[in-house]
Amino acid sequence: MVDKSGRRSFIKGLGAAGITALAMPVMAQTNTESAANIKWDKTADVVIIGSGFAALAASIKAKQLGATDVEIFEKMPYFGGNSAINGGLFAAPNTPLQAKEGVKDSIDTMVADQLKSGRGIADEPLLRHIASHAAEALQMTIDAGAEYHPYLQQLGGHSVARTYQTTVSCGAGITQPLLKYSQKLGVKTNNRAKFIGFVQDDNGKVIGVKLLTGHHFEDPNSGKVTYVKANKGVLMATGGFAQNIKLRMAQDPTLTNEVGCTNIPGTTGEAMLEMFRLGATPVHLAHIQSGPWASPDEGGFGYVSNYSIFNFPHSIAVNLQTGRRFMNEIADRKTRADAELRCRDEAGKPQPPIMITSYEDAMEHPTCKKVLKYKVGWKFDSIADIAKHYGIPAAELQKQVDEYNQYVRTGEDKQFGKAMAMAHGKELRAPFTVVRLWPKVHYCQGGVQINTNAEVVDSLTGQPIPGLYAAGEVAGGIHGVSRLGSCSIPECLVMGMTAANTLMNA
């Protein structure tokens, strides 16, 4: 058994400089308890904390593998977590839709795209494991009742079109069918149940959890203390920490409360911190991704995000100061977010750039109507009207549009090397739709380290912490510096399924 008290003394002795070096917040007293004096309130084969993609996939897989009792515990009053409000975009190689559209892809190609975006520090074995099982995870969602648009999208950083999107254009198109399917299989779902600590046996194995049931998110300490025993294992699928302002500022001081966020209020990271206190290895916490498709004209993920993701391949992003493009509109997220953040006025104040799309092409995606209806995007009859409205040099803007249309015709972007296959036949033509762009905090690359069995790795021994598993955004280091869009859903689903496989066969 690893001496956890020694670990806590070690961390305490590091002081502020040492903690900063570890890229970790100061560790409070652990809430983990010994099982010696615990009176269990409930028992299950598999205990799952969280209710998003990873949690639901794990619950279904565990039941399919013969688990008698599977229980999901969610701290919020609703199920689905942050997964329910994401874009519903699912990347997978070698899929039926790729075959239908004549897209040549492979596991190697998808992994190579992700490694490039990860800038040398992504976890190749985990990425390869996920890509190898992504089509299987996609099929699970379809079997559960998820429905997707009958076409593929090519998102930023992907070398080919491999992304499905739910017909409702959000993650709820997956979480709701999975939730219903899991409940049909007998999975027990509990909301308003906040995780606060682990329970270990004398050998250091995680054999249960401590919860606050009847919890109300607005009151952090509300609820009744409840102990739940896990006969086979505990899966942590609690998401990221994008809404924890202090924690994200500890990693990146620029991410203050003035920076918008696409996540639900519950993405605050307490469960991740408790795993660190237990001994889990922290990895890549400072890499926090901002979405370059977000709008400053609406809160949260909003309507513009999905609109932009769909339209970037056949649109141009323009700097208001110059009337010119300033980036490859389908580069990886970090490249685009950094480029947008450099768009500022003479005084250095943010000056959100605009994205110009032909109205006819924009209307191919259902979110366009909502973007216009809720006045977070606007329709213009001419380039001159756009230039006048935003104070853009009109001659330069018209010249840029003419140049870009030539790239569409030739299939070669001589400005930024944008892949033009998805823009074929879609020259910019009147009337136009325009949205403003500005990044929002979207995804935490960092979290606890896991292996390809979804086991949480101990920071002192380098071995799995017995009985403890993690999947989804709470697991860090998988994507490196920047995650490609539409790769979180396959990651969550595959690693949730993997955790179920591992713990049921342990």
Q: Read off φ and ψ for residue 375, nearest 5 degrees.
A: 55, 45
Helical H runs in 146-225? 172-184
Asked whether the bond before 466 is cis by omega within 30 degrees of 0, the reply is no
* Residue whose tokens read 């040492």: 18
Q: How far apart are CA 232 and CA 183, in angstroms?
A: 20
Taking the CB of residue 88, how many other CB atoms lie within 10 A of it? 25
Encoded tokens for 140: 């699970």
Helical H runs in 213-254? 245-251
Q: How far apart are CA 315 and CA 178, in angstroms?
A: 34
Geometric angle at alpha carbon 176, from 174 and 178, rounded to 5°? 70
Cβ–Cβ under 8 Å, residues 470 and 275? yes
Dump the DSSP string for 357-403.
EEHHHHTTSTHHHHHHHTTSEEEES-HHHHHHHHT--HHHHHHHHHH
Q: How far apart are CA 339 and CA 319, in angstroms?
A: 10
Cα-Cα-Cα-Cα torsion 124, 129, 134, 139, nearest 10 degrees, comes to 180
**Nearest C-alpha neighbor of 183 from the set 56, 83, 65, 47:** 56
Q: CA dist 505 to 28, 62, 72, 465, 482, Å?
A: 34, 10, 20, 16, 33
Active-site residue set? 333
The helix or strand, by DSSP H or E, that contains position 469, with its residue range, turns out to be strand 464-470
Geometric angle at alpha carbon 210, from 208 and 214, rounded to 5°? 130
**Helices 383-390 + 394-410 axis angle, to 10:** 130
